[in-house]
Structure 1
Amino acid sequence: METAELEPQVLANRLGVEFYLVRQNNTIGCVITIAALEAHFWLESRASDARILKTFRNGYGRICAIAERKWLARPAATRLELTPADFARR
């Protein structure tokens, strides 16, 4: 996979941000929904792509930690989707 492909991107349907995790020479595609960014990262509704990506980058540490935890729980997964429920306090 090329480096440019690994850059986070707003999905064409604008329902989420696609990003990739790499662990032990394995790469998995992930999507965090716009609903999750709005609910847990203070993204305003109908934000521009630039604002969506800025919000994603600002929350990347937490987003990445949740995605890695989900990947560890589902090691056979080929793709992960992070929704508001993944960020709810337990």
Structure 2
Amino acid sequence: MTQKVRQIIIHGVTEEGGRFRPSDWAERLAGVMASFRPPGAAGNHLTYSPYVVPVLLEGERCVVVDERLRELEPLAWKFVLDFARDNRLKTSERQA
């Protein structure tokens, strides 16, 4: 049986309903977090971390943040959540 993982989705829309800019914000945020990987996982600078992934959901740029990042690197988890809060971005949760 596969355990479900909690994910936080950071939406590219502000709490006031405006579109967040710049348009490549999701890729930039995921790029900054690219070095955070599962222990022993190979990685290079050309791939995103499996814990912070830019996605397009229903036509909206978003970043999906895997809650396992909290255990791996608490400061990285705090950084992405603070980014969302500081920029007043909408967030939601899901199980994957």
TM-score, scaled relative to structure 1: 0.31
Higher strand residue share: 2
Higher helix residue share: 1
Higher Rg? 2
Name the structure, 1 or 2, with higher relative contact order (CA <8 Å, separation 6+). Answer: 2
